[in-house]
């Protein structure tokens, strides 16, 4: 099996896709939320070759879970992934030196390595010439020049990969004297006590000496005590001596690389600003940069809220006609109702959001692959670090305005586990699009008259969005100060040159992620929809001619609503709203249809008017109006803060590997919602509203 490794942004995914086509399997490493990608390609003789695409890494001295997985797989530390026998290293021709650092470490492992020098076309444009033949001579391993985007060099690569005999690299590198005895000791201990082969032991020893804070992830077998003791002893020794032990090794490697590159890389004089530089002059301009960012954000939201409408309506109508067909085709009864109101409406609920989700994933993929994402993080970093976050949290949080699920999935680019966790915890506070139907309904009920002036509608919605955003940043700051206190995140990031990605690769990525979304969210929503259907249907009203209102009133859900009432009464909600809050667990927008059922209004999704009127006329048993403007406002604020969407909870559980954080998230968000609403409602009442 081949392992594909390389720096981020060097076209590794493009190469992987070019080699494996669609024969890829995407999963997860058990215990870590890092993608495991395995694909198959075919050799010259038609034999299948397995390739595992390891996460991009700058060094085997891991600084993030992604890099930790790459390191662990290459060192054979993971029980779930066998150590690859051959390694495919991909480097970027336009900045060979830094890319070769990882290769230098990998050559230590003593495995057959094939070096792929990618992006040759971009190198030529920048006036950089790489003497591939000379490199092959120097290293003693096959070196293939490639342009993965255009498919050039793939055939040669497959030819090299098919070779039965692959030479080992001519890699003799003298470990600096200051650390050589430490290396020898560690190597001995690793061989004797941890069962490593001598070569791997040496490689690992060298790694341990550059790894300040060894990032360990679940699933990686720990070292035995003797080894860690030796390491600790030497570290203390050097600390006392004042030797820069880590830096010495790094410097020594780069010295060897510089010598190598002097021979093989020729830069054709000083060229003017590249195309990327010219674009950056605008994109990171003190003024124009903001315009561009604003434009990108506007485009994102426009595509989600408008372009997605047509496919959404299409799906909506087809789901509705399917339900009608079933109603006609089957005889009335519980099974039919389960199908139409449970399964079809549940699945339909997920499918309707699919266009938005697809657009969002496509957009994020585009931003990532073109290189703009790094610029956005660069620009927003100062603001984000005010609350203790990293600029990389910007895009995930921004995406959460559409749907928190893709946003939370996008947090994988954040290296620091604490930062990632905080971003995940606050992402649902960014008002997602599912809250919109609730806002719209409440605004309609809140304001007198038939037509709601657009400006007021927008104004109130904006208020809700601002509230959510302030909440998100506020809690991020709080969490970073208290619970998840940690060092301020590093902002060491590469700004890759702008690249025009292959649409095929972006599309593939989009479908992969959308598939994951459907699997996770889809199954949960379906399950919950069925459960909720059950809760709202049973026990059945003794009178078969009872209205749906009466039916729901005495169902399990209705009883739950009654039970909930004392808790939500201080917020101005009654048991019927309580039912709505419960059903919102499937998806927030289900609130609207639930209100429709409870107040006996049919087809409430499409016209708010009849439902709005029904709400306005609703009263408490005492005759006092239920949906006063104050209550409408309070309800909207509740939806801003409360954690309801079960699918999001499921994704958070997946991404944090446990129930602790999703449960905490539910607690803090719903608690905050209750408190804020309590204050708003009671203050409002006190002020006479």
Partner 1 sequence: MSAALKLSSLALGASARVKDFPRSGNTFVRLREMGLLPGTMVTFVRAAPLGDPLEFKLRGYHLTLRREEAEQITIEA
The only residue of 289, 355, 396, 572 in contact with partner 1, by rule CB under 8 A:
289
Look up tokens 């909600």; give the residue: 573
Q: Give the nearer residue to partner 1 in terms of CB position, either 246 or 338.
A: 246
Q: Are 576 and 554 in contact (CB under 8 A)?
A: no
Q: Give the nearer residue to partner 1 in terms of CB position, either 416 or 589.
A: 416
Q: Is 495 in the site for partner 1 (CB under 8 A)?
A: yes
Task: Identify which of 371, 417, 416, 414 has the alpha carbon closest to the alpha carbon of residue 396.
Answer: 414
Q: How far is CA 472 from CA 407, 581, 670, in A?
A: 13, 21, 14
Which tokens hold the place of 661?
């954080």
**Residue window 34-73: x/- pattern of binding to partner 1, with contact defined by CB under 8 A:** ------------------------xx-x-x----------
φ/ψ region of 200 (left if φ > 0, alpha if ψ in -120 to 50, else beta) reads: alpha
Alpha helices in 371-432 (DSSP H): 372-386, 394-399, 404-409, 417-426
Quote the least distance from Cβ 661 to partner 1, whole Å: 24
Q: Is 330 in the site for partner 1 (CB under 8 A)?
A: no
Strands 24-28 and 35-42: antiparallel
Only one of the segments 487-495, 505-513, 560-568, 601-609 lies at the binding site for partner 1 (rule: CB under 8 A); that segment is 487-495
Within residues 208-237, the interface with partner 1 by CB under 8 A covers 210, 212-213
Q: How far is CA 137 from CA 114, 123, 263, 672, in A?
A: 13, 21, 11, 65
Q: Give the nearer residue to partner 1 in terms of CB position, either 320 or 495.
A: 495
CA dist., res. 91 & res. 355, Å (int): 36
Size of the site for partner 1 (CB under 8 A): 43
Quote the least distance from Cβ 348 to partner 1, whole Å: 44
| Count of C-beta atoms within a 10 Å radius of residue 470 | 12
Which tokens hold the place of 636?
């909207």
Q: Give the nearer residue to partner 1 in terms of CB position, either 242 or 333.
A: 242
The only residue of 251, 486, 515, 566 in contact with partner 1, by rule CB under 8 A:
251
Q: Give the nearer residue to partner 1 in terms of CB position, either 80 or 97.
A: 97
The only residue of 264, 379, 445, 581 in contact with partner 1, by rule CB under 8 A:
379
Task: Identify which of 542, 553, 545 has the alpha carbon closest to the alpha carbon of residue 578.
Answer: 553
Q: Is 178 in the site for partner 1 (CB under 8 A)?
A: no
Look up tokens 């004297």; give the residue: 177
Quote the least distance from Cβ 61 to partner 1, whole Å: 7
Quote the least distance from Cβ 153 to partner 1, whole Å: 21
Q: Are 475 and 429 in contact (CB under 8 A)?
A: yes
Quote the least distance from Cβ 491 to partner 1, whole Å: 5
Q: Is 247 in the site for partner 1 (CB under 8 A)?
A: yes
Q: Give the nearer residue to partner 1 in terms of CB position, either 46 or 286.
A: 286
CA dist., res. 77 & res. 85, Å (int): 14
- With residue 143 as reference, give the H or E element that holds it: strand 143-145
Return the beta strands (E) in 215-329 as ranges: 265-267
The only residue of 79, 184, 299, 383 in contact with partner 1, by rule CB under 8 A:
383
CA dist., res. 27 & res. 78, Å (int): 15
Only one of the segments 238-246, 357-365, 445-453, 529-537 lies at the binding site for partner 1 (rule: CB under 8 A); that segment is 238-246
Quote the least distance from Cβ 154 to partner 1, whole Å: 25
Q: Give the nearer residue to partner 1 in terms of CB position, either 489 or 572.
A: 489
Q: Is 394 in the site for partner 1 (CB under 8 A)?
A: no
Quote the least distance from Cβ 254 to partner 1, whole Å: 6
The only residue of 199, 256, 343, 493 in contact with partner 1, by rule CB under 8 A:
493
φ/ψ region of 7 (left if φ > 0, alpha if ψ in -120 to 50, else beta) reads: beta
Task: Identify which of 421, 385, 436 has the alpha carbon closest to the alpha carbon of residue 668.
Answer: 421
Q: Give the nearer residue to partner 1 in terms of CB position, either 211 or 589.
A: 211
Q: Is 490 in the site for partner 1 (CB under 8 A)?
A: yes
Radius of gyration of the chain (CA): 29
The only residue of 26, 166, 224, 250 in contact with partner 1, by rule CB under 8 A:
250
Q: Is 128 in the site for partner 1 (CB under 8 A)?
A: yes
Task: Identify which of 24, 48, 19 has the alpha carbon closest to the alpha carbon of residue 36.
Answer: 24
Within residues 79-108, the interface with partner 1 by CB under 8 A covers 94-98, 101
What does the CA dihedral 679, 680, 684, 689 come to, rounded to 10 degrees? -140
Q: Give the nearer residue to partner 1 in terms of CB position, either 291 or 675.
A: 291
CA dist., res. 388 & res. 486, Å (int): 9
Strands 128-130 and 265-267: antiparallel
Quote the least distance from Cβ 241 to partner 1, whole Å: 11
Quote the least distance from Cβ 247 to partner 1, whole Å: 6
Residues at the site binding partner 1, with contacts judged by CB under 8 A: 58-59, 61, 63, 94-98, 101, 128, 210, 212-213, 242, 244, 246-247, 250-251, 254, 280, 284-287, 289-290, 378-379, 381-383, 385, 391, 487, 490-496
């Amino acid at each position: 099996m081949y392992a594909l490794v390389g720096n981020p942004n060097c076209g590794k995914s493009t190469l992987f896709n070019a080699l494996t086509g669609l024969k890829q399997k995407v999963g997860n490493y058990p215990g870590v939320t890092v993608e495991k990608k395995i694909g198959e390609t075919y050799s010259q003789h038609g034999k299948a070759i397995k390739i595992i695409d390891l996460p991009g890494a700058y060094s085997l001295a891991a600084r993030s879970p992604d890099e930790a997985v790459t390191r662990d797989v290459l060192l054979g530390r993971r029980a779930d992934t066998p150590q690859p026998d051959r390694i495919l290293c991909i480097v970027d021709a336009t900045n060979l030196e830094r890319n070769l650092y990882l290769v230098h470490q990998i050559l230590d492992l003593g495995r057959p390595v094939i070096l792929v020098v990618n992006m040759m076309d971009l190198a030529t444009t920048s006036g950089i010439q790489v003497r591939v033949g000379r490199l092959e001579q120097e290293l003693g391993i096959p070196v293939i020049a490639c342009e993965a985007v255009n498919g050039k060099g793939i055939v040669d690569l497959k030819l090299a990969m098919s070779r039965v005999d692959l030479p080992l690299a001519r890699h003799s590198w003298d470990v600096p004297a200051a650390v050589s005895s430490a290396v020898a000791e560690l190597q001995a201990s690793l061989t004797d006590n941890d069962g490593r082969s001598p070569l791997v032991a040496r490689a690992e020893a060298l790694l341990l000496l550059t790894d300040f804070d060894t990032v360990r992830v679940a699933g990686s077998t720990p070292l035995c005590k003797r080894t860690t003791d030796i390491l600790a002893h030497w570290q203390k020794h050097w600390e006392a001596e004042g030797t820069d032990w880590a830096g010495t090794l790094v410097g020594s490697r780069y010295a060897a690389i510089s010598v190598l590159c002097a021979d093989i890389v020729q830069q054709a004089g000083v060229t003017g600003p590249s195309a990327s530089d010219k674009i950056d002059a605008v994109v990171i301009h003190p003024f124009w940069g903001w315009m561009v960012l604003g434009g990108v954000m506007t485009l994102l939201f426009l595509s989600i809220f408008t372009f997605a409408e047509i496919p959404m309506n299409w799906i909506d109508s087809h789901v509705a006609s399917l339900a009608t067909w079933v109603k006609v085709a089957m005889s009335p009864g519980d099974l039919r109702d389960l199908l139409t109101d449970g399964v079809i409406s549940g699945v339909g609920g997920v499918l309707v959001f699919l266009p938005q989700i697809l657009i969002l994933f496509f957009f994020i993929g585009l931003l990532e692959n073109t290189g703009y994402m790094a610029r956005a993080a660069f620009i927003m970093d100062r603001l984000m670090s005010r609350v203790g976050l990293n600029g990389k949290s910007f895009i995930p949080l921004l995406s959460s305005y559409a749907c928190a699920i893709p946003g939370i999935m996008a947090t994988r680019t954040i290296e620091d586990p604490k930062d990632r966790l905080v971003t995940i915890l606050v992402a649902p506070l960014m008002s997602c699009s599912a809250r919109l139907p609730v806002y719209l309904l409440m605004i309609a009920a809140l304001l007198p008259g038939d037509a709601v002036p657009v400006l007021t509608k927008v104004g109130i919605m904006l208020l809700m969005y601002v509230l959510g955003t302030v909440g998100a940043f506020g809690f991020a700051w709080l969490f970073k100060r208290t619970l998840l206190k940690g060092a301020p995140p590093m902002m060491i990031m590469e700004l890759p040159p702008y690249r025009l990605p292959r649409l095929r690769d972006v599309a593939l990525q989009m479908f992969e992620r959308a598939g994951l979304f459907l699997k996770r969210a889809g199954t949960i929503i379906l399950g919950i929809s069925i459960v909720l259907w059950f809760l709202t249907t049973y026990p059945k009203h003794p009178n078969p001619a009872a209205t749906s209102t009466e039916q729901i009133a005495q169902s399990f859900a209705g009883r739950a609503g009654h039970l909930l009432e004392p808790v939500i009464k201080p917020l101005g909600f009654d048991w019927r709203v309580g039912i709505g809050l419960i059903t919102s667990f499937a998806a927030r927008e289900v609130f609207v249809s639930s209100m429709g059922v409870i107040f006996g209004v049919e087809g409430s999704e499409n016209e708010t008017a009849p439902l709005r009127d029904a709400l306005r006329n609703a009263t408490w048993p005492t005759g006092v109006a239920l949906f006063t403007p104050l209550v409408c406002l309070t309800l909207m604020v509740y939806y801003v803060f409360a954690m309801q969407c079960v699918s999001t909870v499921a994704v958070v559980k997946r991404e944090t590997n446990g129930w602790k954080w999703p449960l905490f998230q539910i607690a803090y968000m719903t608690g905050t919602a209750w408190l804020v609403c309590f204050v708003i409602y009671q203050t409002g009442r006190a002020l006479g509203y």
